[in-house]
Amino acid sequence: MPNLTVRQLRYVEALVRHGHFGRAAEACAISQPALSMQVKAFEEELGVPVFERGGRQLRLTPFGEEVVARARDILRGLDELEGFARASRGGLVAKLRIGVIPTVAPYLLPALIGELGRLHDGMDLHVRETLTPKLVQELAEGRLDMAIVALPVSEPSLAEVALFTESFVLVRPREDEGKPVPSPAALREMRLLLLEEGHCFRAQALAFCDIRQGSMPPRDLLDASSLSTLVQMVDAGLGVTLIPEMAVAVETRSASVSVARFGQPHPSRTIGMVWRKRSPLAPQLHQIADVVRRAAEAPRQGQGGPCGPA
Please, what are the domains in the chain?
6-85 (1.10.10.10), 89-164+271-301 (3.40.190.10), 165-268 (3.40.190.10)
User: pLDDT tens, 251-282?
Assistant: 999 899 999 999 888 899 999 999 999 888 88
Chain center to CA of 24: 20
Q: How many Cα neighbours within 13 Å face the side chain of 300? A: 22
Task: Judge contact between 263 and 68, C-beta under 8 A.
Answer: no
Residues of the chain with pLDDT under 70: 1-2, 54-56, 83-93, 212-221, 298-310
Tens digits of per-residue pLDDT, 109-163?
999 999 888 877 778 889 999 999 999 989 988 889 999 999 999 899 999 999 9
pLDDT value of residue 69: 87
Confidence at residue 222, expressed as pLDDT on a 0 to 100 scale: 74
- Other beta carbons within 10 angstroms of residue 79's beta carbon come to 18
Pair 94, 123: CB distance under 8 Å: yes
Letter for the amino acid at 227? L
The pLDDT of residue 122: 74
Q: How many residues does the chain have?
A: 310
Query: d(Cα 244, Cα 97) in Å, to the nearest integer?
Result: 25
Cα separation of 88 and 81, whole Å? 11
- Could you tell me if 167 and 267 are in contact, meaning their C-beta atoms sit under 8 angstroms apart? yes
How many CB atoms sit inside 10 A of residue 201's CB? 23
Task: Report pLDDT for 149.
Answer: 97
Strands 268-276 and 124-129: unpaired
Task: Give the per-residue pLDDT at 92.
Answer: 59
What's the pLDDT at 219? 47
Q: How far apart are CA 109 and CA 291, in angstroms?
A: 12
What is the model's pLDDT at position 304? 46
pLDDT of residue 153: 94
